[in-house]
Amino acid sequence: MTTYIKSINRKVWKVVETKFEVADLENPTTAEKILLQNNDIALSAIHDVLDEGTFEQIKNIKVAHDAWKKLEESLKGTQAVKGAKAYILKAKFASFKIKEDESVLEMFHRLKVLVNDLKALGEEVKDKDFSHKFLRCLPSRFGPLVTILVSGLDTMT
């Protein structure tokens, strides 16, 4: 999301990163008018990339900086929340298995989402660990393929 927002315009992104104040909303200076306009552009861009549930959290916030901070707080959480999330995700990764009614592609996607969530919390998941976990979860009919692939994991990503 950050890359999309930053690509809009550096001046627009600046109002997201840095809180600004307008002395008199009824009679803003020329510089303040530009800040207000950039704020509206930034807020609109933020709204455009959010799903309905996340949008509900910030829909009444009028300052792009405040909306962004609220999103960061709710999506990342405090350090304690991040730690708890990481703990739960690590446990899910450790006990990850293919579901009975799940295709290999669905399992791969679910594992990739789990790993991406861990990485988003700052946890390191090496490609090799991901590959080993994926291969261990494959149904037994993939046994010969797994044997072939495991021998080359050190050179593959």
Let me know whether 34 and 66 are in one domain: yes
> Between these two residues, 150 and 108, which has the higher pLDDT value?
108
Token readout for 75 is: 């999506």
125, part of any domain: yes
Q: Say if residue 142's pLDDT is above 90.
A: no
Same domain, 146 and 87: yes
Amino acid occupying residue 133: K
For residue 19, give the H/E element and its range: none
Cβ neighbors of 29 (< 8 A, separation 6 or more) are 23
Last residue of a domain, one of 45, 76, 107: 76
Q: How many domains does the chain have?
A: 2
Q: CA–CA separation, 135 vs 150, rounded Å?
A: 8
More confident residue, 50 or 149: 50
Examine the domain organization and report whether 72 and 115 are in the same domain.
Answer: no
Alpha-carbon distance 155 to 127, whole Å? 11
For the stretch 31-69, pLDDT in tens is 999 999 999 999 999 999 888 888 999 999 999 999 999
Q: Are residues 9 and 71 in the same domain?
A: yes
pLDDT of res. 156: 61
Give the model confidence (pLDDT) of 91-120 as tens digits. Answer: 999 999 989 899 989 999 999 999 999 998
Same structural domain, 11 and 70: yes
Q: Are residues 87 and 59 in the same domain?
A: no
- What is the DSSP annotation of 44-80? HHHHHTS-HHHHHHHTT---HHHHHHHHHHHHH--HH
- Classify residue 136: in a domain, yes or no: yes
Please indicate, yes or no, if residue 121 is contained in any of the structural domains.
yes
Residues 44 and 87 in one domain: no
Please give the pLDDT value at position 31: 93
Q: Which of 76, 93, 111 represents a domain boundary (last residue)?
A: 76
* Domain extent for 15: 2-76
Whole-angstrom distance, CA of residue 74 vs CA of residue 98:
30
One domain, residues 94 and 39: no
**Residue that finishes a domain, picked among 76, 101, 134:** 76
Q: Do residues 100 and 114 both lie within one domain?
A: yes
- Whether 57 is in a domain gets the answer yes
- What is the value of pTM for the model shown? 0.50
